Structure 1
């Protein structure tokens, strides 16, 4: 397994937010994290990526306990894409993606041909190579998110964590971004809000509720009428789409 999490516990001020969570992610798999607001998705994602330290439990990535891996070395293996990042500085697209090379360069080293090639390849992978000189502030929301992913790819990671990468995007850009992620040759863990998008693009889904795992499995095994009723407090019909993934039709109550 590429990722193995064992009995993770984390919280703040006497409140447990992630409670005894264990999970595994296979090489090349796309795992979706879903759950109601406040269920612990973002906190769990940051624990898995090593951005938060668990109060108890352990995360292994590529067979190593990440608590024992130096931060710089971990950043060469793991990339994290936030929901959104704002800046008042109007960097170019090239400069934003170059930030992904930081873990691979010393403070005094110059730019190498390898660095340039990796940045260009990352931009091409997300279809943003035609915007390389464009200013960050002039980009649309969907374009910015693709640049975020390109910056993560410039780290040349083996594992990518994404926290609601489709947040605030229209449906066209949501599908576009998730298609890009799915087609990457990486192990990915994605926190998602939209259940139908999770069903379309994730190999397996983990359902969180109150910081605990309520279900884990393929979309068709997890996204049942009973689970939607129990966890999300909604009535819905679950049908099989043309692609074979479940499609949820919510009922007006």
Structure 2
């Protein structure tokens, strides 16, 4: 499914956080959102996912204005994975993933074989089947992120939005999770703070500064020394990875 945003603006009180943002995401594409802290990445992601309503502008998913779609119907198409989530409730991994089936069930419907199959498939896709009966509280950070993604997959979405899904994880789990997301047959938009990970796993990148788009294109076109200096206020050397040709950033110490 495609995602199109046109002239999105949103803010709190007198502060504008997202400023006149327009972008297009092609079906099956992985789009990265990068920018300094406070640049509006998380807010834009929530606007695209329909979790916030813009002050002005619109979002279309597969040509349909999401403002005209019910929350439940939108949840059958769109999944949102937040940075982290915790609970004190005594639940298992399977219990958490089962929550993803909520948009597909009515208040009176029982748990079906189709629901169970969706949960099993989601756990398998994130390689967490063997952990299905394990208590949530005993999981590592990387395992919890996999379960968050499995819950999103159980929704059977066509579009997935992820807000810094690698935050606080070690580099092994960061790469593991982003590779898994990239390989899913979905349209995905990912807010990231690690520029090298964005270069490695995103088809295109949008750079935000003070809530507005200041650059958009392939990693090679966007991640330049000038952009890093002007937007992130850092000096860096940009090299091309030998195997992929994608940029690799080495930051200067001074």
TM-score, structure 2 as length reference: 0.99
Question: In 2, distance between residues paired with 1:193 and 1:128?
Answer: 26
Partner of 2:28: 28
Superposed, 1:1-253 pairs within 5 Å as 2-242=2-242, 243-253=244-254
After the TM superposition, which parts of structure 1 deviate over 4 Å for at least 4 consecutive aligned residues? none
Shift of 1:13: 1.6
Question: In 2, distance between residues paired with 1:153 and 1:11?
Answer: 30
Shift of 1:10: 0.3
Shift of 1:90: 2.2
Shift of 1:140: 0.2
Structure 2 SS opposite 1:229: helix
Question: In 2, distance between residues paired with 1:224 and 1:182?
Answer: 23
Question: In 2, distance between residues paired with 1:239 and 1:214?
Answer: 22
Structure 2 SS opposite 1:134: coil
Shift of 1:74: 0.2
Question: In 2, distance between residues paired with 1:122 and 1:78?
Answer: 15
Shift of 1:108: 1.6
Shift of 1:230: 0.1
Shift of 1:213: 0.3
Instruction: Give ranges in structure 2 of 5+ residues lacking alignment.
Output: none
Structure 2 SS opposite 1:174: helix
Question: In 2, distance between residues paired with 1:132 and 1:39?
Answer: 38
Shift of 1:63: 1.0
Question: In 2, distance between residues paired with 1:92 and 1:86?
Answer: 13
TM-score, structure 1 as length reference: 0.99
Question: In 1, distance between residues paired with 2:63 and 2:153?
Answer: 21
Question: In 2, distance between residues paired with 1:180 and 1:155?
Answer: 17
Shift of 1:244: 1.3
Q: CA RMSD in A?
A: 0.6
Question: In 2, distance between residues paired with 1:107 and 1:169?
Answer: 37
Shift of 1:88: 0.5
Shift of 1:12: 0.7
